[in-house]
């Protein structure tokens, strides 16, 4: 066992990210005592059956008692109410973190409920799959992925450093980023791609109704990957778009402009423009591979990984 940066960790929400955090902690040999809570009794029962957490509690208040680190792993729209519930039960010196993919609105929702002497260090592990629930997690989810650390200027430096140490132990790379920049970056690399995937699958569904489901039957690799993304948790993504509205709308506007330019090139037969555009975007894919953030294996690097 290795000495952990936090002796008692409470995971509030027991889905893909929280369950992967627990398994990654165990793999790292952390000697932390981990408590967990999920709103659904069925989820709590599943977590207990899986051996997820050292103790699964029946209330968030019980789970956070005496915790050194509390991680909010709930939909971003629920962060504020959950924080309000647990605030009176947090001990002085506790670090509260969260793993949502939106930061500015989450900070604004959580901070008013933060007790004196409790530190708030928002994070965003840039890793995931289309699966959800306590049985979806696995220890290697964060390996060589980035966990963005998004503290406010006044956040206690030691608390931030301990959170960085914690995520490094889970296998992640870390980088600090301010909230506004985080939300814009994530709109580009995550939020808009998901919105496009949802839209494309919706279009295919409409077409499928008049083509004997041929779109589904003969779907090729590109469309299959759209459906993988579009299978992500609907509650989480509803909250993401509602809470990162400004950045999403701005990037969606830029996407629409690019799409219109491509439409004109196709309509006018401008093959030179299309070839130049596709060559430039192909280079971005090569950059992702060279950075070790994906693999060119046929399974897209998403084969099931054992815990």
- Give exposure, 157-167, as e/b (b: 16+ Cβ within 10 Å): eebbebbbebb
Q: What fold characterizes domain 181-290?
A: 6-phosphogluconate dehydrogenase C-terminal fold (1.10.3660)
Q: Could you state, in order of their start, the residue ranges of all structural domains in the chain?
A: 8-177, 181-290
Which stretches of the chain score pLDDT less than 50?
298, 300-307
Instruction: Report how far Cα 15 is from the mean position of its chain's Cα atoms.
Output: 11
| pTM for this entry | 0.82
**Residue 218 pLDDT:** 63
**Other beta carbons within 10 Å of 276:** 12
φ/ψ (deg, to 5) at 73: -115, 55
Helices 245-268 & 192-208, crossing angle to 10 degrees? 60
- The SS3 of residue 2 is strand
Phi-psi region of 133 (alpha: psi -120 to 50; beta: other; left: phi over 0): left
How many C-beta neighbours within 10 Å does residue 25 have? 21
pLDDT the model gives residue 177: 96
Residue 119 φ then ψ, to 5°:
-105, 140
What's the pLDDT at 233?
Answer: 79
Supply the pLDDT for residue 212: 55
Residue with tokens 């010196």: 93
Per-residue pLDDT, 306? 44
What radius of gyration, in Å, describes the C-alpha atoms of the chain? 21
Q: Give the three-class secondary structure for 245.
A: helix
**pLDDT value for 278:** 87
Q: What is the pLDDT of residue 209?
A: 59
DSSP 3-state of 150: coil
List the beta bridge partners of residue 33. Answer: 8
CA distance 63 to 40: 14
The yes/no answer on whether domain 8-177 falls in CATH 3.50.50.60 is: no
Q: Scan for tokens 């008013």, then name that residue.
A: 112
Per-residue pLDDT tens over the stretch 150-193: 999 999 999 999 999 999 999 999 999 999 999 999 888 888 88
The Cα-based distances of 245 to 6, 189, 238, 252 in angstroms read 34, 15, 11, 10
pLDDT at 298: 47
Give CA–CA dist 41/292, Å, rounded.
Answer: 39
Question: Do residues 132 and 169 make contact, with C-beta atoms less than 8 angstroms apart?
Answer: no
3-state class (DSSP) for residue 125: strand
Instruction: Give the 3-state secondary structure of residue 298.
Output: coil
């Amino acid at each position: 066992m290795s000495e952990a940066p936090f002796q008692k960790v409470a995971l509030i929400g027991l889905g893909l990210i929280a369950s992967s955090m627990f398994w990654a902690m165990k793999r790292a040999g952390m000697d932390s005592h981990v408590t967990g809570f999920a709103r659904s009794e069925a989820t709590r029962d599943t977590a207990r059956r899986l051996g997820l957490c050292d103790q699964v509690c029946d209330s968030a208040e019980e789970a956070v008692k005496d915790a050194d680190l509390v991680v909010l792993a709930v939909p971003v729209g629920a962060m504020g109410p959950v924080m309000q519930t647990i605030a009176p039960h947090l001990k002085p010196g506790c670090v509260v973190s969260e793993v949502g993919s939106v930061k500015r609105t989450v900070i604004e929702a959580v901070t008013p409920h933060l007790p004196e002497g409790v530190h708030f260090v928002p994070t965003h592990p840039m890793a995931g799959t289309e699966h959800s629930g306590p049985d979806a997690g696995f220890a290697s989810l964060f390996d060589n992925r980035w966990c963005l650390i998004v503290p406010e200027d006044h956040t206690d430096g030691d608390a931030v450093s301990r959170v960085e140490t914690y995520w490094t132990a889970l296998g992640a790379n870390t980088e600090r980023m301010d909230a506004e920049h985080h939300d814009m970056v994530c709109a580009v690399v995550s939020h808009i791609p998901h919105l496009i995937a949802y839209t494309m699958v919706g279009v295919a569904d409409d077409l499928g109704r008049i083509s004997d489901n041929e779109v589904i039957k003969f779907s090729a690799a590109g469309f299959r990957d759209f459906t993988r993304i579009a299978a992500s948790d609907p509650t989480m993504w509803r909250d993401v778009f509602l809470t990162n509205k400004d950045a999403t709308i701005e990037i969606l506007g830029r996407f629409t402009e690019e799409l219109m330019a491509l439409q004109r090139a196709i309509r006018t037969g401008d093959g030179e423009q299309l070839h130049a555009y596709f060559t430039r975007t192909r280079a971005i894919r090569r950059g992702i591979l060279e950075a070790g953030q994906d693999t060119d294996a046929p399974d897209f690097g998403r084969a099931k990984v054992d815990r």
